[in-house]
């Protein structure tokens, strides 16, 4: 589905959606206010893949396949140009595909000179370096569309035996993002650092911390797919270079309830108060879909596990993104639910808790349910959970050093099981990294063992505060409602050494609301 909810228009190999504001229903991009906005595009691409990625083929055969994908890219650029797009982002693996060996991918690799050393316009200087046909086409597209262009391709770099890390075949092979300016100049390149089962590629000796400047929106950061879960380069680029915009090619396989593509993209934008331009590849049979243009307060997204067609998203984006109101910036009168939350926070001197009730001053009290705790697998991790029963209540559940709390009210009860879960430990499947998670999830059925299953539809409506005593400041708010719809928290922030998420007035049934903490130093 499209998160822009705007008019869909069929064209060529796919469709595009133009968005002015989240859920506005307006059909075209008006003239952007030069002082406030720029126009961006991301393209979700159903790449044409090699029928046998393990086979050894010639460079010419590899170019024939890649040119089919590049032809589609060029069509998208020209469509975007008609809407005055200033920057377009294409997905990871969109040109060459995936599942190669180190040897079989070699014909698909372009030679990549360092943009820090060589100033080069591949379109205007095509004969300067050999094996750069893909770079040449991308450069010419940027010129034709008069826009900055970000794409992903495989690249090669010769190395010498004197280099102790030089592979035996005498070359490095990198998963590489490239950035071209609107005049076709190669502005910079980023080589993926956190590879995801990519035996064809090498990890760069040093982490690429890449930013690039644009005349329309200032500085952008760049990284790829799995990088988003790690400190280097994603967090370090934001911390050290003060970027407000990130371009993010990805080939992300969705995994619910916590790591759907649009879910983590949006969480990153909200957590850091930045804009994220995310382009995913489109292969629903492999669980690969989910692209978006995300600001902290609104998103224009696409997620479709049924439709095999491509999708182009175009949106106006604020040059200076506005973040959520944090606890430290909140003003005005506090509503009753937030007053309850502030009173019930652990350690509050005005409240004491026993097994059944919370007693606060002004004779305020409400039931504290004490349902059974249970364990269930979620995202391959052993979560400790408690069921969420009744129309209102206060729950908590702990694991290791992390305790998670939920204060909730429900206008009506649905025939669904929800649970509050906690995990504090090292995740070891499909990557190794330390996480602290507090999650309110809809279970797959009515049995406790179904909590953590992948579901996309729900009817349960909640007004709630979710919080925990996290040991990290790097916390990502994951928030999905029925039909893979993105929600924005009403408020996020620290209160009394606990990090909380607050939400009322859901647009549809709750699928997932979670605080996903990363402790990078424990990886």
- 412-450 pLDDT per residue, tens: 999 999 999 999 999 999 999 999 999 999 999 999 999
Q: 3-class DSSP state for residue 248?
A: strand
Give pLDDT, residue 210.
98
Backbone angles phi, psi at 494, to 5 degrees: -95, 135
Q: How many CA atoms lie within 13 A of 278 on its CB side?
A: 35
The residue whose two tokens read 């993105």 is 486
* Residues ≥6 apart with Cβ < 8 Å to 313: 2, 4, 16, 17, 19, 41, 42, 43, 44, 291, 292, 293, 300, 301, 302
**Using CA atoms, how far apart are residues 383 and 523, in angstroms rounded to an integer?**
19
**Using CA atoms, how far apart are residues 44 and 291, in angstroms rounded to an integer?**
6
Active site residue 416: no
**Using CA atoms, how far apart are residues 423 and 65, in angstroms rounded to an integer?**
44
Structural domain spans, the chain: 37-318, 371-518
Give pLDDT, residue 132.
98
- 403-412 pLDDT per residue, tens: 999 999 999 9
pLDDT digits (tens), the chain, 523 positions: 666 433 223 233 344 555 533 332 233 343 445 569 999 999 999 999 999 999 999 999 999 999 999 999 999 999 999 999 999 999 999 999 999 999 999 999 999 999 999 999 999 999 999 999 999 999 999 999 999 999 999 999 999 989 999 999 999 999 999 999 999 999 999 999 999 999 999 999 999 999 999 999 999 999 999 999 999 999 999 999 999 999 999 999 999 999 999 999 999 999 999 999 999 999 999 999 999 999 999 999 999 999 999 999 999 999 999 987 665 555 445 677 888 888 888 554 334 444 344 444 433 344 444 799 999 999 999 999 999 999 999 999 999 999 999 999 999 999 999 999 999 999 999 999 999 999 999 999 999 999 999 999 999 999 999 999 999 999 999 999 999 999 999 999 999 999 999 999 999 999 999 999 999 999 9
List residues bridging with 211 in a β-sheet: 221
From the list 260, 279, 282, 303, the residue with the least C-alpha distance to 91 is 279
Q: Are 421 and 387 in contact (CB under 8 A)?
A: no
Active site residue 198: no
DSSP secondary structure code for residue 288 in this structure: B
The residue whose two tokens read 């009394």 is 496
HEC string of 111-128?
A: ECCCCCCCCCCCCCCCCC
In words, the CATH class of domain 37-318 is alpha beta
Burial readout 363-373 (b: 16 or more C-beta within 10 A, e: otherwise): eeeeebeebeb
Ordered DSSP codes for 179-205: EE-TTS-EEEEEE-SS-SS-TT-PPPS
* Beta sheet of 291-294, edge-to-edge order: 211-214, 218-222, 245-250, 275-280, 291-294, 299-302
Of the candidates 133, 140, 156, 192, the residue annotated as catalytic is 192
Q: Are 95 and 69 in contact (CB under 8 A)?
A: yes
Give pLDDT, residue 34.
55
* Beta sheet of 357-360, edge-to-edge order: 351-353, 357-360, 365-367
Of the candidates 123, 140, 225, 438, the residue annotated as catalytic is 225
Q: Strands 186-191 and 171-180: what pairing?
A: antiparallel
Quick one: tokens of 123? 């379109």
Give pLDDT, residue 251.
98
Active site residue 27: no
């Amino acid at each position: 589905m499209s998160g822009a909810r705007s008019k869909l228009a069929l064209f060529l190999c796919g469709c595009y959606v133009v968005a002015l504001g989240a859920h506005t229903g307006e059909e075209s991009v008006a003239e952007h206010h030069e002082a406030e906005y720029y126009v961006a595009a991301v393209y979700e691409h159903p790449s044409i893949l090699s029928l046998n990625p393990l086979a050894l083929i010639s460079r010419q055969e590899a170019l024939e396949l890649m040119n089919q994908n590049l032809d589609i890219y060029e069509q998208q650029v020209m469509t975007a140009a008609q809407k005055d797009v200033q920057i377009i982002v294409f997905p990871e693996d969109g040109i060459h595909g995936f599942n190669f060996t180190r040897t079989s991918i070699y014909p698909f690799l372009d030679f990549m000179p360092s943009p820090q050393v060589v100033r080069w316009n591949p379109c205007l200087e095509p004969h300067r370096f050999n094996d750069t046909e893909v770079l040449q086409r991308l450069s010419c597209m940027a010129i034709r569309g008069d826009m900055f262009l970000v794409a992903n391709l495989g690249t090669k770099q010769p190395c010498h035996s004197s280099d102790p890390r030089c592979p035996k075949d005498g070359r490095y092979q990198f998963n590489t993002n490239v950035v071209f300016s609107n005049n076709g100049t190669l502005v910079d390149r980023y080589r993926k650092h956190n590879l995801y089962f990519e035996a064809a590629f090498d990890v760069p000796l040093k982490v690429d911390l890449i930013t690039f400047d644009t005349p329309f929106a200032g500085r952008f950061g760049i990284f790829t797919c799995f990088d988003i879960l790690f400190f280097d380069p994603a967090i370090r680029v934001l911390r050290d270079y003060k970027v407000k915009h990130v371009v993010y090619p990805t080939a992300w396989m969705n995994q619910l309830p916590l790591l759907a593509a649009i879910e983590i993209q949006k969480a990153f934008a909200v957590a850091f108060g930045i804009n994220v331009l995310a382009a995913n590849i489109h292969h629903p049979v492999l669980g690969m879909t989910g692209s978006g243009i995300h600001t902290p307060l609104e998103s224009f997204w696409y997620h479709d596990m049924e439709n095999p067609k491509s999708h182009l998203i175009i949106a106006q984006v604020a040059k200076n993104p506005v973040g959520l109101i944090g606890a430290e910036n909140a003003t005005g009168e506090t509503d009753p639910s937030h007053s309850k939350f502030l009173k019930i926070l652990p350690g509050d001197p005005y409240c004491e808790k026993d097994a059944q009730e919370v007693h606060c001053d002004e004779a305020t009290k409400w039931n504290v349910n004490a349902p059974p705790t249970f364990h269930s697998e979620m995202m391959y991790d052993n979560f400790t959970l408690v069921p969420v029963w009744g129309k209102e209540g206060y729950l908590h559940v702990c694991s290791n050093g992390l305790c998670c709390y939920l204060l909730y009210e429900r206008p009506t009860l649905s025939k669904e099981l929800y649970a509050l879960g906690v995990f504090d430990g090292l995740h070891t499947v499909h990557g190794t990294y330390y996480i602290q998670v507090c999650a309110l999830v809809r279970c797959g059925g009515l049995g406790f063992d179904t909590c953590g299953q992948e579901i996309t539809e729900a009817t349960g409506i909640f007004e709630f505060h979710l919080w925990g005593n996290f040991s990290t400041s790097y916390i990502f708010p994951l928030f999905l409602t029925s039909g893979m719809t993105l929600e924005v928290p009403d408020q996020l922030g620290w209160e009394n050494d606990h990090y909380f998420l607050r939400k009322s007035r859901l647009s549809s049934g709750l699928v997932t609301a979670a605080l996903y903490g990363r402790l990078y130093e424990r990886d």
